[in-house]
Copies of this chain bind each other. A is one copy, B any other.
């Protein structure tokens, strides 16, 4: 131990793990047959505890004779002692190849630890998306006591490790770092993990059970050793579940989509805005809105920033974007609906034709896809690999297929589907059209333009080409909608009249709409925009089976915890 390192306390009595939950106990029993020494069935716990304590006392007595006495043990709770920081650089495992034959110190956590013999223990250590094999070998300078201690650390404990980076002869299959291993010199437990874990991280790395098995934890994946864990169990233990590399990757990509969205639009003069989420009156018809108590009156959660982003165009902001929560009180229990999701919204004035805005939206998404492939390839491949998902196909020409709704209907009819000229498409029809478009245009991304007026919101600009159509569009990924947008009516007289004619009618004089309608009386320029569902972009980019996987703590009609 270097003399600048923190003084470790003598390994203390481990805290008594709290009573495991029912689920955890069931899980632990199922795992009995598995050779994971840290997942102890409940009935063995007391015995194990006694054994551990006995060993600890022995160790305390033997410390004087232990040549490694200062090289391992438990650190005091960080921040609770007035210790001077060592300032010792902490290494990143991602850079391990640059440190061959050097000694590094790094924080990591334990994927698993096992005693091979009295003289040898192995640990799989993880930091971020990297995992590395570490060896603890007894020698004149490293005691057998330390070997035993290191090989018995509970899974998911956080460590500070010092060791030599050594090249290995044979690639290590079980780690992401294949060509190097760590020869441990010092190992301190910084934060010990309780046993048993309520969910194994390695189970969270595996795919969800298929739809048929979704409700049945017991069902085995073909050829798999252990049953796949249901989404509900994972979400109930989300802070463990999220530790899986697949989940870390999903949320790195989600963060990336937000960054790319802003990067592209900022360069084009968009400013980021925050519109209110608490509304004094329900807007946009008032259906599917959550009501709250606002001091002594009712108020409502915004179901989209639609009215406000348009009011900002009327306020001369020209181009605005927003990333914010969107709340929908819809009792939809599907794999692609959430009651709270993240909207990527934009609204902009245009000069002559709303297709200018569609062009911006298409270029935006092409930019995001291209940069996801460039900057987030590792994460994308890691996730798609688990589910065996095809690459996301983009048109080679760079021209996003922009298909008139009428043509989409014709394609569906040609494929044998019965659908009216002005009907809304069902979800299966949308998916079928996605397959037809992929076949015809070789693109998983496309736009439908000129939707029927009757199935769009009242503020949608009617089409000059056909009064039953409108200047509106949806964007799709792998046959599923990710954006809905349109040219909006920027004249208050026409807007009020369209609202009254709409089915169901909207009262332009009501508390939730009057300010909105009135703002178009004072010279608002023509404008269009759209709203993306961020979680859907991530879901369909990766080809994931359920949108809940793309929300850190998803909300649906059944779930508001954790």
Contacts and interface: CB of A to CB of B under 8 A. Distances in A.
A562 interface: yes
B242 A255 contact: no
Contacts of A15: 493
A243 interface: yes
B308 A552 contact: yes
Interface bin, chain A: 35 or more
Contacts of A60: none
A511 interface: yes
A107 B354 contact: no
Interface in A525-562: 525-526, 534, 551-553, 555, 557, 560-562
Contact of A292 (B240, B301, B354): B301
A314 B197 CA distance: 13
Given A295-B331, A515-B561, A552 B318 contact: no
B273 A77 contact: no
A100 to B, nearest CB: 23
Given A15-B493, A312-B242, A329-B295, A352 B78 contact: yes
A124 interface: no
Nearest to A302: B325
A15 to B, nearest CB: 5
A109 interface: yes
A6 B526 CA distance: 15
A211 interface: no
B292 A248 contact: no
Nearest to A523: B193
B248 A316 contact: yes
A152 to B, nearest CB: 15
Given A80-B464, A552-B275, A158 B329 contact: no
B511 A561 contact: yes
Contact of A255 (B81, B273, B295, B316): B273
A325 B290 contact: no
Nearest to A272: B255
A40 interface: no
Interface in A262-304: 262, 266, 271-281, 290-295, 297, 299, 301
Interface string A318-338: 100001110101010000000
B78 A526 contact: yes
A511 to B, nearest CB: 7
A387 interface: no
Contacts of A251: 271, 273, 317
B279 A340 contact: no
Contact of A523 (B158, B323, B511): B158
A255 B321 CA distance: 10
Contacts of A351: 85, 90, 107
A353 interface: yes
B272 A266 contact: no
A402 interface: no
A339 B292 CA distance: 13
Given A274-B325, A275-B553, A316 B524 contact: no
Contacts of A81: 464
A209 interface: no
A491 interface: yes
A186 to B, nearest CB: 15
A519 B275 CA distance: 33
A87 B271 CA distance: 25
A242 B278 contact: no
Nearest to A515: B562
A293 B295 contact: no
A109 B314 CA distance: 12
Contact of A291 (B292, B325, B487, B523): B292
A86 B352 contact: yes
A456 interface: no
Nearest to A247: B315
A223 interface: no
Contacts of A18: 492, 518, 521
A271 B252 contact: yes
Given A242-B317, A515-B561, A562-B311, A523 B157 contact: yes
Contacts of A555: 276, 278
Nearest to A528: B79
Contacts of A272: 255, 258-259
A450 B294 CA distance: 36
A271 B255 contact: yes
Contacts of A292: 290-293, 301
Given A77-B494, A239-B314, A279-B560, 14 more contacts: A77-B491, A85-B355, A107-B351, A128-B318, A191-B525, A197-B522, A242-B315, A242-B317, A277-B277, A278-B555, A278-B560, A294-B339, A299-B560, A324-B325
Query: Considering the complex of A and B, which 4 residue pairs feature the smallest CB-CB distances, nearest first?
Result: A280-B560, A515-B562, A242-B315, A292-B292
26 contacts: A6-B352, A18-B492, A77-B490, A79-B353, A79-B464, A80-B461, A85-B356, A86-B352, A128-B316, A156-B522, A191-B523, A191-B524, A238-B311, A239-B519, A242-B315, A242-B316, A242-B317, A248-B317, A254-B274, A259-B262, A259-B266, A277-B325, A278-B339, A278-B340, A278-B555, A281-B561
